[in-house]
Structure 1
Amino acid sequence: MPYTKAHKLNIREKIVQNAANEFRQKGIKEVSVPQIMKGAGLTHGGFYAHFANKDQLVAEACRKAIEETINLLQGATVRKEEAAKLQTVIDYYLSTTHRDQREISCILPTLSSEISRSSEEIREAFTLEVTRFFSFIAGMIGKNNEKSMAIVSSMVGALLLARSVNDPELSQNILEASKRYAKEMAALQ
């Protein structure tokens, strides 16, 4: 008896979720299709029943990861007043928790440099997700797209640098200085 459409969608979602987690932790090039399938509890042979190629999976994993980041950040702001929501997002995004827990962290600082050398399919999907993240932040600052681009770029760059240095004090200083700067930038009219 063939699998139901719902079963196939659930399996696909499981693969995409595992891929998003793996890409967050290791990057795209360091993760193979067999590793992704094994992590999802499946065999490598079933991959092509769900995806045309790895690029399609990367594109979908980027969508999934940004969706999860936005949901996580929205969850952190649920009980906050409107004026405090962006402050809360900045505090969480530039926290040691977000820096250290790559498996749940934003995919933007992890994959941006790798995506810039990827296929057009991946870059197109990533561009849509970056734009969605800009819009999420813009929604907290009165639809100011230019300011949201600057704030997001600052946060992503700060998180990338904080993860890259091997000096814990410097890493913490990067996060703290960037938090202050992002909050100042958000407050500017």
Structure 2
Amino acid sequence: MPYPEGHKIKVRGRIIGSAAKAFRSNGIHDTSVPFIMKGAGLTHGGFYSHFDNKDQLVSETCRYAIKDTIALLQKAADQAVEEPKIHAVIHFYLSPHHRDHAEIGCILPALSGEISRLSEEVRQVFNLELQRMIDFVSDLGRIDHSSGSALLSLMVGTLMLARSVSDPQLSDGLLEAGKQQAKELIKNSQGGPTFDQKPCPGNPPHLEVN
């Protein structure tokens, strides 16, 4: 009996979704194809019906994950009521919730340390998707591309350090310092205190990826 129309596309999407979750949590090198396929509820043998190799999967997963992250951050921005939208994004990105739930968050902190050792195909895709994230924060913060690059670098680096330390107090302190410096960067990039500096909410919005 033939599969219904669109079946292969749906299965491919399940594999990419499983890979995104695994790469966010464990990185690329420590995530095997069988582990990804098991997460998608499929057998290892079916992988090559959808992808030529793991590099192709990594490339497509990177595209999917950045699109997913931009949608997540846009949702945080859209929920901003008493603060600038870019501040809401900073608060969410550098929140304990995002730090503690890597499996649903931004893929950049997980992949940045590995990309330089991967194929040129993967690196080119990563470059394009990184530019997409820089464009997003630049547009939302109404800052130039150079300042947007610095802002995203600050946010990604802060999150990586906050996840790497075992001292909860130090980790929380890194997040708070990152938030303050990120907002200061935006203010200086805009030429002055354009935004009303209001206290950061106690808890950022609890958002999940569909």
Q: Give the TM-score category using the shorter length.
A: over 0.9
Contact kept? 2:85, 2:141, Cα under 8 Å: no
Structure 2 SS opposite 1:2: coil
Going from structure 1 to structure 2, the CA distance change for 1:3 and 1:24 (only over 3 Å counts) comes to same
Q: Which amino acid aligns with 2:125?
A: A
**Residue equivalent to 1:145:** 145
> What is the one-letter code of the residue matched to 1:172?
D
Of 66-75 and 137-146, deviating more is 137-146
Deviation of 1:65 after TM superposition, in Å, equals: 1.1
TM-score w.r.t. structure 2 length?
A: 0.86
Question: How much identity, in percent, do the aligned residues show?
Answer: 53
Q: How far is the alpha carbon of 1:64 from its aligned partner?
A: 1.2
SS of the aligned residue for 1:116 comes to helix
Q: Which amino acid aligns with 1:126?
A: F
Is the partner of 1:113 in helix, strand or coil?
Answer: coil
- Partners of 2:143 and 2:173 in 1: CA distance: 30
Q: What residue in structure 2 maps to residue 32 of structure 1?
A: 32
Q: Does 1:126 align with 2:126?
A: yes
Moved over 6 A (4+): none
- Tell me: CA distance 1:79–1:161, structure 2 relative to 1, closer, same or farther (3 Å): closer
Counterpart in 1 of 2:21?
Answer: 21
TM-score, normalised to structure 1, is 0.95
SS of equivalent to 1:77: helix
Residue in 2 that maps onto 1:74: 74
Work out whether 1:111 is the aligned partner of 2:111.
yes
Q: Runs of 5+ in structure 1 lacking a partner?
A: none
Aligned to 2:92: 92
Measure the CA separation in 2 of the matches of 1:187 and 1:160.
Answer: 24
Task: Give the CA deviation at 1:80.
Answer: 2.9
Superposed CA RMSD? 1.4
Structure with bigger helix share is: 1
Match of residue 47 from structure 2: 47
How many residue pairs get aligned? The number is 189
The answer (yes or no) to whether the contact 1:82–1:140 under 8 Å persists in 2 is no
Q: CA shift at 1:121, angstroms?
A: 1.1
User: 1:6 maps to what in 2?
Assistant: 6
Residue 179 of structure 2 is aligned to residue 179 of structure 1: yes
